[in-house]
Structure 1
Amino acid sequence: MLELIKAVSLGLVVLLPLANPLTTVALFLGLAGDMNFEERNRQSRQASIYVFAIMMVAWYAGNAVLDTFGISIPGLRIAGGLIVAFIGFRMLFPVKPAGQSVEAKQKQDELDHAKEPVNIAFVPLAMPSTAGPGTIAMIISSASTVRSGIDFPVWVVNTAPVLTFLLVSLILWISLRSSGAIMKIVGKSGIEAISRLMGFLLVCMGVQFVINGVLEVVRTFH
């Protein structure tokens, strides 16, 4: 049981900075301003379900994608590290405020002109805000690492990812349901500060990913 808790905790430490629910909260508040309470709850629930589904597909189908396109694990680690580091740099030095991404602007235009409620759960809340390219690359790389050998029992390896993805989705759901209260407590400046801290962690993780990938390539040629 301790090994399962350790594996799930490790997964949360890796995924939460990438998923960054607080940034999604700011985006959600920007897009869901005219929605009633019931519609907000429905969008929150759907976004959480979509995030869980995306992560599960990335975990179980990731290796098949790698095999199909002939991508090596070191290559994935280097590419994933660059993506994660790039996302981290954007969070450290934001060019646009939260909610002003291309996807968010497109959805805002739809909301402004739509007569019926527009679904924002999949795009942009679930993807790319929460389960974006960096999150997916990290999950696929982690799946490859786990299957190539790791010091956890088989039952832990099979159970921990599902629990980790479930917890990330649950944290997102709670954050979106409590979005108004979170903004009142933390404030816009607080969310920006936390996002920058998460960005620094992502830069460190991305650089380490690249280092690990390069070291594997060097070992291959020696």
Structure 2
Amino acid sequence: MNLVDLRFLAEVFVTLFVIVDPPGTIPIFMALTGSMTVRQRSRAALVAVGVALLIIGGFALFGQFILSYMHISLPALQFSGGLLLLLIALQLLTGKEDEMAASEGVNVALVPLGTPLLGGPGAIVAMMLFVQRTDGRITHVSAIVLALLGIAVMMYVFMRFSGGIAKVLGKGGVTLVTRISGVLLAAISTQMIFDAIRAFLADWGMLVA
């Protein structure tokens, strides 16, 4: 008897990988942890992954109940998350990423790294939709758990070894990549906002009909 649906596992993993984009977090992580020591950077990466895992896993288990209890729709969550990411993108584009970095070297791992960058609305919504598709089947539940753990490992590895990448790129290269990352993050956040508005309009059209 198969305990894991490999096809579903691959679908969940690929979807989360595209949304979370571990390689894309490297320039942001380097920008926010540039003044940290190697030990602080490693700790920040671990804390950020832990926070993201806790948030995504928590919403996977209790997200639908929380949103229903608070009368919040998935498009509303996606819209607010898009606005948060857009604010972060603007700070990266204007060279104000240092303002997001905490002096103690750990708070930055909570916000904005742990959330909303890693454990953001895109990953939360995707995970909630996957949970709805499980129908209680153990093969699908185990696939989701394994995919989430796999993504957590990927996130940590990419951030943990970002220091070596920073040495190769140099200070100017890191700045350039950070600005490019800000542009991409702004595009992603804008797309999230547009998708949320489209979903709002679709729901409103159904209500009118």
Q: TM-score, normalised by structure 1?
A: 0.70
Matched, 1:128 2:115: no
Matched, 1:11 2:16: yes
Provide Cα deviations, 1:123-164, integer angstroms capped at 9, x if missing partner: 22133223228944334433443455x599945642444344
Provide Cα deviations, 1:32-87, integer angstroms capped at 9, x if missing partner: 1xx3x44543443333223222221132222221122122x3xx313422431552
2:33 aligns with 28
**Cα gap change, 1:134/1:175 in structure 2, threshold over 3 Å: closer, same or farther?**
closer
- Counterpart Cα distance in 2 of 1:159 and 1:204: 31
1:212 aligns with 199
State the superposition RMSD in angstroms: 3.3
- Asked if the contact 2:25/2:159 (under 8 Å) is kept, the reply is no
- Counterpart Cα distance in 1 of 2:197 and 2:70: 20
**Cα gap change, 1:161/1:28 in structure 2, threshold over 3 Å: closer, same or farther?**
farther
**Cα gap change, 1:204/1:47 in structure 2, threshold over 3 Å: closer, same or farther?**
closer
- Counterpart Cα distance in 1 of 2:144 and 2:20: 11
2:99 aligns with 100
1:131-210 matches, cutoff 5 A: 131-132=115-116, 135-146=119-130, 150=133, 154-155=137-138, 157-186=140-169, 187-188=173-174, 189-210=176-197
Kindly, what percent of the aligned residue pairs are identical?
Answer: 15
- Asked if the contact 2:48/2:110 (under 8 Å) is kept, the reply is yes
1:32-111 matches, cutoff 5 A: 32=36, 35=37, 37-71=38-72, 73=73, 76-85=74-83, 87-88=85-86, 90-91=88-89, 94-101=93-100, 104=101, 107-108=102-103, 111=104
Q: How many residues align?
A: 198
- Counterpart Cα distance in 2 of 1:42 and 1:90: 22
Structure 2: give runs of 5+ residues left out of the alignment: 1-5
2:3 aligns with none
1:115 aligns with none
Q: What is the CA distance between 1:4 and its match in structure 2?
A: 2.2
- Counterpart Cα distance in 2 of 1:217 and 1:134: 31
Structure 1: give runs of 5+ residues left out of the alignment: 112-118
